[in-house]
């Protein structure tokens, strides 16, 4: 498991735009948040559905599904991360998928 795989999994199971998770991932990193969720570091009752979803999917599955649609997952550490996302209400949201540009 690496940062990109953890981010892909979280991207697939966390509803977009949630300020709490955006902040957690931005400050702690996706891998740390993913591991903390699985270790019981967050309220296991409140986040039971999320934790169950995390256990049922792998980063490879998510990334393969994105790849099937000729898209790729970009994250804030990628050079082509849209700068305008830094000025949005949740500036370092989980990630986004992007279709390749037709050249």
What confidence score (pLDDT) does residue 93 get?
A: 47
The whole-number pLDDT of residue 28 equals: 95
Question: pLDDT at residue 84 above 80?
Answer: no
Provide the whole-model pTM.
Answer: 0.77
Report the distance separating Cα 34 and Cα 44, nearest Å. 13
SS3 for 10?
A: helix
């Amino acid at each position: 498991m690496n940062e990109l795989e953890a981010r892909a999994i979280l991207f697939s199971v966390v509803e977009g735009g949630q300020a709490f998770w955006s902040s957690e991932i931005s400050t702690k990193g996706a891998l740390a948040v993913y591991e903390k969720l699985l270790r019981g570091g967050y309220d296991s009752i409140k986040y039971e559905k999320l934790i169950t979803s995390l256990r049922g999917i792998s980063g490879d599955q998510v990334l393969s599904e994105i790849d099937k649609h000729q898209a790729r997952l970009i994250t804030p550490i990628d050079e082509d991360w849209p700068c305008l996302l830094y000025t949005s209400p949740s500036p370092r949201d989980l990630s986004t998928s992007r279709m390749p540009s037709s050249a």
